[in-house]
Structure 1
Amino acid sequence: MLRDGDSPERQIEKLKRINAALIDRLDRADASRGSHWMLFQTAAVLEQELLARNRDLEQALSHLELTNRELALARETADEANRSKSRFLRAASHDLLQPLSAAKLFLSHLSETLSDPLQSDLVARIGTAFDSTEELIRALLEISRLDSVRLDVSCERVSLGRLFQRLAVDFQGAAEARGLDLRFVISSATVMSNPVFLRRIAQNLVSNAIKYTASGRVLVGARRQGADVWLEVHDTGPGIAVEDRERIFNEFERLAPDGEEPGTGLGLSIVRRACLRLGHDIDLRSEPGRGSVFRIRLPRALEAPGALAAGPDPASATGAVQRLAGSGAEPVMLAEPTASAPPVQLAGRRVLVVENDAAMREAYALLLRRWGVEVATADGTGTALAALERLPPEAVVTDYRLERGETGLQTIAALRRRLGQRLPALVVTAEPDPQLQARVDRLGAALLRKPVTEAELRRTLSALLEGRRRGAAAAE
């Protein structure tokens, strides 16, 4: 501060200091103002960058949404195509197997009337071709069902002992025809699986082993491993090279040259698809010239409260399985196949045939009349009820799928109500539905899948009529 008493020099010095301080303050204020301006400019640029990035993000999100809609539409289109394929194959199964079944019945009748060996051989070859066609159609239908997203693959307790008993009945004849020793090791194991598809898996594995084993034996058993049980099928066939072990599970892959061994090349593909749907591991062990072992890992079912294990421990089968290719005691046979009872006399019996296909009705009638059966035919429930007055039947043979949405199960129920008795019934179908067997069982009827052979029809009819005779005798 300037004072009056200060000398001019002192006052000048003070003014200089004041001036320097003011200039310094002005410089700092100017620098600060420039920094704020730079910050403002930077913020403006960043805001523009942010707006540009937001626009890019909105465009990307819009593109992603469009892509998702296109993917959803493509998936729905693929699902609908798959459903259409399944519907087509289900419908085609009936339309394809229906004439095939009629042809096999006509062919069976023709074979009975031939005396020329050449003609008989030709008929036998035609029958073999029909069998191959039937096997191919059924395999394709099975693959279609396994690929269906709506397929019910719920699991429940399955007794391997009972499964082996059924397999013994199914395949003993085929094994004997090829000169093979088919054995089943006793098992008390109970596993968690789908009973329908597990049986189909086992059938394909055993059938495959029999087809490709020229001599020796096929052994089926179970091996316990921790909380699991391995279902194993051993054979003494040619074995499978390492480079072929993945390929054989593809569709239409057959290691044997065409025509050398029967088959469609779809059996193992069905096995792999079914195992994937059920969550079962599949394992193959093989060595060329020393046979093969196909194994399926199954989760062991927990024992029911208070349940007692019946029979030997599944692990006891291990030694028998290991002895397949070696020496020593023979493996235990599960059960000797029981010989089928001779068919009862069908001559003079009365049978009603309900079939909407004219060719099938004629084939059934021709075959049954050749056996001496009195036959009445109908194409639906109404005509079947009307036929009761002409020929009171002792049994009914009906197709499952009839006209106007009717089913053979409805026809059987209507006939039984009219007659007031439990009329023996046989349902014949080309439907691939695995639940149909349970519905037929609840009705107390028998079920045959098309194409029906003469032997199957005669054996089943005989059993139905014999059951009726025994029931009548017990009632007396």
Structure 2
Amino acid sequence: MEPDQKRITVEAAPADPNDRAGKLNRINEVLMDRVERLEASKGTGWSMFQAAVALEQEVNARTRDLERALLDLSNRNRELALAREAAEEANRSKTRFLRAAGHDLLQPIAAARLFLGAIRDSSLQPAQAELVEQLGSAVQSVEELMQAVLEISRLDSQRIEFSRQPVALGDLFTRLAREYAPQAEARGLRLVFAPTRAVVDSDPAYLRRITQNLVSNAIKYTPEGGVLVGARRRGARVWLEVRDSGIGIAADDRARIFDEFQRGPGEGAAPGMGLGLAIVRRACAKLGHPIHLDSLPGRGTLFRVGLPLVQNAADPPPVGGWATAPQPSAQTPVLTGLSAILIENDPSLQRAYAIQLRDRAGMTVHVAASSAEAEAVLDANPGLRPDIVIADYQLDHGDTGLFAIAALRERLGPVPALMVTAHDSAEVARACGRLDVPLLLKPVTAEALRHAIAGAIMAQR
């Protein structure tokens, strides 16, 4: 048994201590490397976890900031919308007020015009005549300012109505040539309207107003030389051109002159309100007519308005709107012996009409303030058939001159009638046109009133 035991003892003997230490060192190195890698992996994951948590917190904070900003923006937009609505309502209220008050604002001016005409026809001393002329000039300035302000108010209205139709520029030029010839002659200027057969699509009343303002403006700012008005065709458009040899417009002033109450140099020689070009710009914008300006200081100015051409147009209606009163001629018509029913609710205008028509023109005038009073005039005067009915549009308690004219015609037949009103609106003009009643706008001169009466009577014969 001893040999075997000896053998076993030999096989179980430990290895070399140096080899064991080296192996342990190697094992230790592997384990430490693994531990280090695990620690490194653990540290990276923790850092990523911490970064993710921090990023989430930042995102939440930024989301809350964005939500607050969006809420603030929504509140601001709501405030702006309310402010805009308030401003638009204020503008609409102003427009409604001016439209409603326009009639009453012009009534005293209309009466003053007629009273001044009566005074002017009287025997006056030279000093008195000069005072009357100065007063007449002041009244005319107030009238022009009121008309311009009311017209701007109408153009600013969102509910403005236009009556677009074919307009013959040749007819428009003929009427404006007669209208502005005295003004140009008084300033020593040549005023030329080039003949044209062009027919364009526009609102006749507003196109006439646009051209009037451009021609008047050209005459006003032209100290010498002349003004040329013409039409030039370019493709599907006709360009209405107003060219003058006046003082011109500097480049810095070309946008400003279209603003309200803006007047150029030299205005002292020809006073104005500075509203003409503001009306032109608004009317052109509403009608879709482009307007261009070319000018050189000291060399003159050219205004061009683009108008749609009407191809193969039939004869268009007369320029100026619907049923308008005829233009005055050189000779004052004789109205002596004619009779009229005057329907006017303003006492001062009743008196002014009476002075002009009864005392000056020799007419018989029956005055009424409403449709009912006009019919009462017929009841009180059996057999009366007036030569003409003269009516204001706006009467009391919702009554209108159109109702009065229709009621009298129902009893008398197609008696001539004339509407004299401060309501310069498309609705009133169209209503007058349907009844074949000429329309004369207040304030009106005594001469224009007499010519309108004579024209309305002649048109029915």
Name the TM-score class by shorter chain.
0.7 to 0.9
CA 431–338 in structure 1, closer or farther in 2 if over 3 Å, else same: closer
Kept after mapping to 2: 8 A contact 1:343/1:462:
no
Of the structure 1 ranges 13-22 and 373-382, higher mean CA displacement relative to structure 2 is found in 13-22
Pair 1:401 & 2:394 matched: yes
- Kindly provide the CA deviation profile for residues 122-159 of structure 1, in whole angstroms up to 9, marking residues without a partner as x: 21221111111111111111222223333346865443
For 1:28 and 1:55, locate their aligned partners in 2 and report how far apart those are by CA, in whole Å.
Answer: 40
Match of 1:422 in 2: 414
For 2:53 and 2:298, locate their aligned partners in 1 and report how far apart those are by CA, in whole Å.
Answer: 81
Match of 1:83 in 2: 92
Match of 2:334 among 336, 341, 345: 345
Give ranges in structure 1 of 5+ residues lacking alignment: 311-336, 471-476
Aligned residue runs from structure 1 range 53-68, under 5 A: 53-68=62-77
Kept after mapping to 2: 8 A contact 1:188/1:309:
no
User: How far has the Cα of 1:269 moved from its partner?
Assistant: 2.3
Match of 1:254 in 2: 263
Larger radius of gyration: 2
Match of 2:348 in 1: 359
User: How far has the Cα of 1:343 moved from its partner?
Assistant: 5.2
Match of 1:374 in 2: 364
For 1:290 and 1:20, locate their aligned partners in 2 and report how far apart those are by CA, in whole Å.
Answer: 102
Pair 1:452 & 2:444 matched: yes
CA 17–240 in structure 1, closer or farther in 2 if over 3 Å, else same: closer
Aligned residue runs from structure 1 range 286-365, under 5 A: 286-296=295-305, 298-301=306-309, 303=311, 307=312, 340=329, 342=331, 344-365=333-354
Kept after mapping to 2: 8 A contact 1:189/1:300:
no
- Kindly provide the CA deviation profile for residues 350-387 of structure 1, in whole angstroms up to 9, marking residues without a partner as x: 11111111111111122111211111111111111111
For 1:338 and 1:99, locate their aligned partners in 2 and report how far apart those are by CA, in whole Å.
Answer: 24
Pair 1:102 & 2:127 matched: no
Secondary structure of 1:220's match? strand
For 2:313 and 2:62, locate their aligned partners in 1 and report how far apart those are by CA, in whole Å.
Answer: 71
Identity of aligned residues (%): 52
Pair 1:230 & 2:239 matched: yes
Q: What number of residue pairs does the alignment pair up?
A: 434
User: How far has the Cα of 1:174 moved from its partner?
Assistant: 3.3
User: How far has the Cα of 1:97 moved from its partner?
Assistant: 0.9
User: How far has the Cα of 1:67 moved from its partner?
Assistant: 0.7
Match of 1:167 among 160, 176, 183: 176
Match of 1:313 in 2: none
Pair 1:205 & 2:214 matched: yes
For 2:193 and 2:310, locate their aligned partners in 1 and report how far apart those are by CA, in whole Å.
Answer: 24
Of the structure 1 ranges 378-387 and 220-229, higher mean CA displacement relative to structure 2 is found in 220-229
Of the structure 1 ranges 457-466 and 192-201, higher mean CA displacement relative to structure 2 is found in 192-201
Match of 1:461 among 433, 439, 453: 453
Match of 1:144 among 150, 153, 160: 153
Match of 1:74 in 2: 83
User: How far has the Cα of 1:72 moved from its partner?
Assistant: 1.0
User: How far has the Cα of 1:308 moved from its partner?
Assistant: 7.3
User: How far has the Cα of 1:172 moved from its partner?
Assistant: 3.2
Of the structure 1 ranges 351-360 and 403-412, higher mean CA displacement relative to structure 2 is found in 403-412
Of the structure 1 ranges 272-281 and 79-88, higher mean CA displacement relative to structure 2 is found in 272-281
Match of 1:328 in 2: none
Of the structure 1 ranges 212-221 and 79-88, higher mean CA displacement relative to structure 2 is found in 212-221
- Kindly provide the CA deviation profile for residues 374-403 of structure 1, in whole angstroms up to 9, marking residues without a partner as x: 111111111111112224322111111111
Pair 1:388 & 2:378 matched: yes
Match of 1:439 in 2: 431
Kept after mapping to 1: 8 A contact 2:257/2:277:
yes
Which AA in structure 2 matches 1:97?
L
For 2:167 and 2:307, locate their aligned partners in 1 and report how far apart those are by CA, in whole Å.
Answer: 11
User: How far has the Cα of 1:164 moved from its partner?
Assistant: 2.0
- Kindly provide the CA deviation profile for residues 417-451 of structure 1, in whole angstroms up to 9, marking residues without a partner as x: 232x1221111111242443222112200111111
Kept after mapping to 1: 8 A contact 2:236/2:308:
yes
CA 309–90 in structure 1, closer or farther in 2 if over 3 Å, else same: closer
Kept after mapping to 2: 8 A contact 1:351/1:396:
yes
For 1:279 and 1:7, locate their aligned partners in 2 and report how far apart those are by CA, in whole Å.
Answer: 117
Which AA in structure 2 matches 1:62?
L
Secondary structure of 1:404's match? coil
- Kindly provide the CA deviation profile for residues 204-240 of structure 1, in whole angstroms up to 9, marking residues without a partner as x: 0111223333454322101233443321112233444
- Kindly provide the CA deviation profile for residues 174-225 of structure 1, in whole angstroms up to 9, marking residues without a partner as x: 3344454322112233344443332211110111223333454322101233
Give RMSD over aligned pairs: 3.0
For 1:157 and 1:47, locate their aligned partners in 2 and report how far apart those are by CA, in whole Å.
Answer: 71
Give ranges in structure 2 of 5+ residues lacking alignment: 1-10, 316-325
Kept after mapping to 1: 8 A contact 2:343/2:390:
yes
- Kindly provide the CA deviation profile for residues 71-94 of structure 1, in whole angstroms up to 9, marking residues without a partner as x: 111111111221122122223322
CA 344–269 in structure 1, closer or farther in 2 if over 3 Å, else same: closer
For 1:284 and 1:175, locate their aligned partners in 2 and report how far apart those are by CA, in whole Å.
Answer: 22
For 2:458 and 2:163, locate their aligned partners in 1 and report how far apart those are by CA, in whole Å.
Answer: 36
TM-score by length of 2: 0.84
Match of 2:3 in 1: none
Kept after mapping to 2: 8 A contact 1:402/1:408:
yes
For 2:328 and 2:442, locate their aligned partners in 1 and report how far apart those are by CA, in whole Å.
Answer: 24
For 2:252 and 2:70, locate their aligned partners in 1 and report how far apart those are by CA, in whole Å.
Answer: 47
- Kindly provide the CA deviation profile for residues 315-371 of structure 1, in whole angstroms up to 9, marking residues without a partner as x: xxxxxxxxxxxxxxxxxxxxxx99837455322211111111111111112211121
Of the structure 1 ranges 28-37 and 264-273, higher mean CA displacement relative to structure 2 is found in 28-37
Kept after mapping to 2: 8 A contact 1:141/1:432:
no
Secondary structure of 1:234's match? strand
For 1:338 and 1:111, locate their aligned partners in 2 and report how far apart those are by CA, in whole Å.
Answer: 22
CA 39–173 in structure 1, closer or farther in 2 if over 3 Å, else same: same
Which AA in structure 1 matches 2:422?
A
